[in-house]
Amino acid sequence: MSIHNADIAAAFEEIADLLSIQGANAFRIRAYRRAAQMLRSLPHEIAAGTDPAVYASLPGIGADLASKIAELVRTGELDSLNRLRREVPAGARDLLSLPGLGPVHVRTLVSGLRIGDRAALRQALAAGRLAGVRGFGPALRGRLEAALARPASEAARRLPLSQAAQYAEPLRDFLAAVPGVERAEIVGSYRRGRDTVGDLDVLLCAGDAADPIAALRGYADLGALNASGRTKAAGVLRNGLAFDLRVVAAESFGAALQYFTGSKEHGIRLRQIAHARGLKLSEYGLFRGKQRLAGRREEDVYAALGLAWVPPELREDRGEVAAAERNALPQLLLRSELRGDLHVHTRATDGNDSLADMVSAARAAGLSYVAITDHSKHLGIVHGLDAGRLARQCDAIDALNARMRGFTVLKGAEVDILADGSLALPDSVLAQLDLVIVAVHSHFDLSEAKQTARVLRALEHPCVTILAHPSGRLLGEREPYTLDFERLFAAARSRPCYLEVNGQPQRLDLDDVRVKAAIEHGVLLSLASDAHSVEQFANLDGAVRQARRGWARRTDVLNARPLAELRRLLRATRG
Ligand code: DGT
Ligand code: CA
Ligand code: CA
């Protein structure tokens, strides 16, 4: 059996969770979390062999973690994780899956208050025992009450796209290589580039002689398979990800691609248009009576309905069908149109690589400028920069710029928005930077009114350029904080300042719906990798995908502008 990066990351993340419930050393916990984050962002699979030395060369992986990776690759299990699972009661581990509850909360509940499972937590909330307990403000208590009132099935987990990809791509490659299979595509929400996927939908084009479903029975990552005949199957992969599979003939492939890419609502719109023209649209084709008007190619299906071809990212019934009828779909942003990246970390704070290496990697990613935005010194941030260290980093950037042609490094910082909306670095320091990113990294559970007032106050600061990951969500881990986005968009537009689309696989923040709303408010977006290591410039792909789902064009994006224009837009924020 094969171990994917996502499996190793999940194991390390679980170790970190369990260790922090136990109150273990914060440094040790952080090492596991950073390793997990690094593994999730690697563009290639690492499970090549069982020699720990190979893994020790990865950023942030020391001898201990390297031997754990080797053990996982060799045995599929980790002794130390199994031990932790025995030590931490199942009820306490289950509490971690509740929205808004991190390991520190769970430790407070379990060790401090003897609340060891959902039932006990429900009782404690009802009895008002958590009022006044540190970290359990009214917003979090309300969220927990709501979550505990929902039946467990509704909390069924969706997988972040990046994790699904680590299973989807090998599955597609495997099926594409089965003799007689002409095409293999992962369709459904995966093809639409949605931030999370419920299941994978696999579409194959194959003639009668091929039997890909029989071949699939020998697939190493297969958990279970439920097939009915040679054209239809459903199953689960070893990591619990479910899939549906359909095999169709070439003359229907385009229609099936359209049908199973969805969304369901987009498909319904198309069928309404077909119906109005006296036609019938199905996964087999577009028909007038028995005559097939289109079906082989997806473009033909749209064209035969009088529609421009709709990029999969837009197929959510958010106005795209009407736009396709008028031939007025937006010219969606391309990755190749990004000129720079305005949110990047180095090992001066919590990144893995040096300034010089990050700059080389940015150039290699096809960019022509990059802003270095290490963290300000503040509680909870490792080695945050103070004024002195930031000044030295600025000198190093000047020296680099003096040596380079055709590439520019901008000076920036990612500064915490403190609880009251003030910033964690003094104005005199901020004024010397080319740009200032601000972000919420604490006090996630303020009321909507307080959180909104806090963030808006930060944006009023004359040095602030960009609000990073505006909702604060972490997919599968942390809900977005409550914030009045209408007011945020209005404020960003009039100030002006810019809003980030953070491409970290677990953030993808702003989300698609809010990207569209921000653009409609006339707010410019900064698409950012938030790279903490050289590989993570690949996060820009995720930011672009998300922005496309929000209808973003080149002109909506701050860092799609050439440097001179960017500089003008940066100056425009200086109040
Ligand atoms: P997911 O899996 O929750 O992330 O979302 P999807 O969009 O992949 O949904 P899924 O897997 O249930 O179905 C895949 C596609 O198949 C869906 O996007 C459109 C099509 N489809 C499925 N069920 C229906 C249906 O009842 N009516 C129509 N028109 N299309 C459907
Ligand atoms: Ca699906
Ligand atoms: Ca499905």
Distance CA(362)–CA(166), nearest Å, equals 24
Atom of ligand 1 nearest to the CA of 267: 29
Q: Quick check: 468 and 504 in contact, CB under 8 A?
A: no
Q: Quick check: 438 and 468 in contact, CB under 8 A?
A: yes
Q: How far is the CA of 7 from the centre of ligand 1 (A)?
A: 27
Query: For domain 253-325, which architecture applies?
Result: 2-Layer Sandwich (3.30)
- Residue 382: pLDDT band by 50, 70, 90 thresholds? low
Q: Is the pLDDT of residue 155 over 50?
A: no
* Residue identifier of the C-alpha nearest atom 3 of ligand 1: 198
End-to-end alpha carbon distance in the chain: 58
Distance CA(522)–CA(524), nearest Å, equals 7
Q: What is the pLDDT of residue 97?
A: 80
Atom of ligand 1 nearest to the CA of 196: 4
Atom of ligand 1 nearest to the CA of 158: 4
Domain definitions of the chain by residue range:
5-155, 159-248, 253-325, 335-572
Tell me the angle at which helices 138-149 and 118-126 cross, rounded to the nearest 10 degrees: 130
Structure tokens at 172: 């597609």
* Residue identifier of the C-alpha nearest atom 20 of ligand 1: 260
Q: What is the pLDDT of residue 379?
A: 55
Q: What is the pLDDT of residue 42?
A: 78
Out of 154, 186, 189, mutate this one to test ligand 1's pocket (max ligand atoms within 8 Å of CB): namely 189
pLDDT tens column, 107-126: 999 988 999 888 899 999 99
Q: Quick check: 507 and 534 in contact, CB under 8 A?
A: no
Q: Are strands 435-439 and 466-467 parallel, antiparallel or unpaired?
A: parallel
Q: How far is the CA of 199 from the centre of ligand 3 (A)?
A: 5
Tell me whether domains 5-155 and 253-325 share a fold: no
Q: How far is the CA of 198 from the centre of ligand 3 (A)?
A: 7
* Residue identifier of the C-alpha nearest atom 25 of ligand 1: 264
- Residue 4: pLDDT band by 50, 70, 90 thresholds? confident
Out of 195, 241, 260, mutate this one to test ligand 1's pocket (max ligand atoms within 8 Å of CB): namely 260
Q: How far is the CA of 255 from the centre of ligand 1 (A)?
A: 14
Distance CA(324)–CA(312), nearest Å, equals 13
> In which residue are the tokens 């990059």 written?
370
pLDDT tens column, 37-76: 888 877 777 876 667 787 888 888 999 999 999 998 888 8
What's the order of all strands across the beta sheet hosting 285-288? 280-282, 285-288, 291-294
Q: Rounded to whole angstroms, what are the CA distances from 473 to 369, 451, 476, 483?
A: 28, 14, 9, 12
Q: What is the pLDDT of residue 411?
A: 98
Q: Is the pLDDT of residue 1 over 70?
A: no
Q: Which residues contact 123 (CB under 8 A, 6 or more apart)?
A: none
Q: Quick check: 547 and 334 in contact, CB under 8 A?
A: no
Mean pLDDT of the chain: 92
Q: How far is the CA of 262 from the centre of ligand 2 (A)?
A: 9
Q: Which fold has domain 159-248?
A: Beta Polymerase; domain 2 (3.30.460)
pLDDT tens column, 258-272: 999 999 999 999 999
Rounded to an integer, what is the distance from CA 68 to the centroid of its chain? 26
pLDDT tens column, 532-575: 999 999 999 999 999 999 999 999 999 999 999 999 999 999 86
Q: What is the pLDDT of residue 380?
A: 53
> In which residue are the tokens 């609340």 written?
115
- Residue 386: pLDDT band by 50, 70, 90 thresholds? confident
Query: For domain 5-155, which architecture applies?
Result: Orthogonal Bundle (1.10)
Cα atoms in the Cβ-side hemisphere of radius 13 Å centred on 431 = 5
* Residue identifier of the C-alpha nearest atom 10 of ligand 1: 188
Q: Quick check: 497 and 463 in contact, CB under 8 A?
A: no
Please enumerate, as own/partner, the contacts of 441-444 that have beta carbons within 8 Å and a separation of 24 or more.
Answer: 441/378, 441/380, 441/381, 441/416, 441/417, 442/379, 442/380, 442/416, 442/418, 443/419, 444/100, 444/472, 444/478, 444/481
Atom of ligand 1 nearest to the CA of 268: 29
Does 149 or 471 have the greater pLDDT score?
A: 471
pLDDT tens column, 414-446: 999 999 999 988 899 999 999 999 999 989 989
Distance CA(334)–CA(357), nearest Å, equals 25
Q: Is the pLDDT of residue 476 over 90?
A: no
The CA-based dihedral angle spanning residues 69, 70, 73, 76, taken in that order and rounded to the nearest 10 degrees: -80
* Residue identifier of the C-alpha nearest atom 29 of ligand 1: 264
* Residue identifier of the C-alpha nearest atom 5 of ligand 1: 189
Q: What is the mean pLDDT of residues 17-42?
A: 89
Q: What is the pLDDT of residue 154?
A: 41
> In which residue are the tokens 């720990």 written?
52
Q: How far is the CA of 200 from the centre of ligand 2 (A)?
A: 5
pLDDT tens column, 400-419: 999 999 999 999 999 999 99
- Side chain identity at residue 464, one-letter code: V
Q: What is the pLDDT of residue 52?
A: 77
Q: Which residues contact 529 (CB under 8 A, 6 or more apart)?
A: 341, 343, 344, 503, 504, 536, 537, 538, 539, 540, 543
Structure tokens at 223: 């958990």
Q: How far is the CA of 449 from the centre of ligand 1 (A)?
A: 37
Q: Is the pLDDT of residue 338 over 90?
A: yes
Maximum Cα interatomic distance, the chain, rounded to a whole number of Å: 77
Distance CA(298)–CA(260), nearest Å, equals 11
Atom of ligand 1 nearest to the CA of 189: 8
- Residue 522: pLDDT band by 50, 70, 90 thresholds? very high
Q: Is the pLDDT of residue 132 over 80?
A: yes
Q: What is the mean pLDDT of residues 29-35?
A: 92
Q: Which fold has domain 335-572?
A: TIM Barrel (3.20.20)
Ligand nearest to the CA of 196: 1
Q: Which residues contact 458 (CB under 8 A, 6 or more apart)?
A: 417, 421, 422, 423, 438, 464, 467
Q: Which residues form ligand 1's pocket by a CB distance below 6 Å?
A: 188-189, 194, 197-199, 201, 259-260, 262-264, 267-268
* Residue identifier of the C-alpha nearest atom 14 of ligand 1: 188
Helix (H) or strand (E) holding 525: strand 525-528
Q: What is the DSSP code string of 202-269? A: EEEEE-TT--HHHHHTT-TTEEEEEEETTTEEEEEETTS-EEEEEEE-GGGHHHHHHHHH--HHHHHH
Ligand nearest to the CA of 195: 1
Q: Quick check: 5 and 18 in contact, CB under 8 A?
A: no
Q: How far is the CA of 519 from the centre of ligand 1 (A)?
A: 28
Distance CA(6)–CA(239), nearest Å, equals 10
Coil, helix or strand at residue 359 = helix
- Side chain identity at residue 547, one-letter code: A
Ligand nearest to the CA of 232: 3
Out of 199, 244, 264, 280, mutate this one to test ligand 1's pocket (max ligand atoms within 8 Å of CB): namely 264
Q: Rounded to whole angstroms, what are the CA distances from 77 to 68, 239, 362?
A: 9, 13, 36
Atom of ligand 1 nearest to the CA of 188: 8
pLDDT tens column, 344-359: 999 998 888 999 999 9
Out of 201, 266, 273, mutate this one to test ligand 1's pocket (max ligand atoms within 8 Å of CB): namely 201
pLDDT tens column, 94-105: 888 888 888 889
Q: What is the pLDDT of residue 43?
A: 73
Structure tokens at 112: 């401090």
